[in-house]
Amino acid sequence: MTSAAQLFGINLVAMVTPMNPDGSISDPGVTSLVDQLLATGCDGLVVAGTTGESPTLADAETIYLIRTVATRASGRARVIAGVGTYDTAASIRRAQEAEAAGADALLLVTPYYSKPTQAGVIAHCLAVADATDLPVMLYDVPHRTGLAMDPATLIELATHPRIRAVKDAKGDLAEAMTVMAGTSLAYYCGIDDLNLPYLAAGATGVVSVIGNLYADHNAALIHAIHTGDLDTARSIHRSLIPSTAALTGTSQGATMTKAALAELGVIPHATPRLPLLESPPPHLPGEPPTS
């Protein structure tokens, strides 16, 4: 069976969606960001996720973005498309369109706002997983959706042949280790503050917001864990704490990351879409060690 690392990558970045001042998608920004991420060691590009401002993207924009990123990456990284909504039929349609647009895998968030039962979550995820031939990464992020996936739900969903991974933004490491021990699901840490402990506990990789700027340092962290060099892993992780706090702890990660990328000249503008507001360039204390 193909491994999760082959299906999704290991050093994944939750890409921002570069936009022009009028709110339209910035083609130069998208291609420049993809080039930057590939050059700094990213092997998985998560498109139209939370950091990509997915709730404000029209269906046609999402598909255009997936196609643009897939074309630019040209097989050099896996493209994982965010397709989850609170509407199962809409999520199925997005999944099928993402597959046609060149996505390699799907990111499926728990239905938000409607807050179904766990049985409803299972039915929703199975319906989307059955709709395409693409592997699925579940996205457990209850602080945004208002609904967590219970361990029993994850264990049941793991029996589906295309549901292969979890992006864990819940932060319950004990639960994650229990599910990892009882299933074949690959775990990806979705909280940059916890990348080190999740990787040390057996996570396959990360889906990182700070990776938009520090994918090379995440790559070094993952390598250090996989080779058993915990001292180096701790050093890298600690060096990233100030930047992680600046990017994700002071405002929305999408707006702060865009501000930093614009300041560095990677993308031309820091514009988000309302209701998010543009942030001033973040102060990133210190400089992570070279890897």
Work out how many domains the chain is built from and give that number.
1
At 87-101, the pLDDT tens digits run 999 999 999 999 999
- Is 188 labeled as catalytic in the residue annotation? no
At 108-143, the pLDDT tens digits run 999 999 899 999 999 999 999 999 999 999 999 999
CATH number at residue 69: 3.20.20.70
**216 assigned to some structural domain:** no
Task: Find all residues with CB under 8 Å of 61, minimum gap 6, and list them.
Answer: 25
At 159-212, the pLDDT tens digits run 999 999 999 999 999 999 999 999 999 999 999 999 999 999 999 999 999 999
pLDDT averaged over the chain? 95
Question: What Cα–Cα distance (Å) separates residue 266 from each residue in 23, 91, 147, 219, 285?
Answer: 18, 31, 35, 19, 19
At 28-84, the pLDDT tens digits run 999 999 999 999 999 999 999 999 999 999 999 999 999 999 999 999 999 999 999
**283 assigned to some structural domain:** no
Range of the domain at 74: 7-17+29-54+62-209
**128 assigned to some structural domain:** yes
**250 assigned to some structural domain:** no
Say whether the peptide bond before residue 275 is cis (omega within 30 degrees of 0): yes
| Active-site hit among 86, 113, 167, 214 | 167
Long-range contacts of 31-34 (CB under 8 A, 24+ apart): 31/68, 31/72, 32/266, 32/267, 32/268, 33/212, 33/261, 33/266, 33/267, 34/69, 34/72, 34/73
**What's the start-to-end Cα distance of the chain, in Å?**
32
- Reply yes or no on whether the pLDDT at 291 is more than 90: no
Tokens, residue 14: 């939750």
Task: Find all residues with CB under 8 Å of 193, minimum gap 6, and list them.
Answer: 241, 244, 248
**245 assigned to some structural domain:** no
| Active-site hit among 113, 139, 188, 214 | 139
**259 assigned to some structural domain:** no
**255 assigned to some structural domain:** no
- Is 86 labeled as catalytic in the residue annotation? no
Rounded Cα gap, residues 111 and 133, in angstroms: 21
Q: Is the dihedral of CA 63, 113, 143, 260 positive or negative?
A: positive
**276 assigned to some structural domain:** no
* Total-model pTM: 0.95
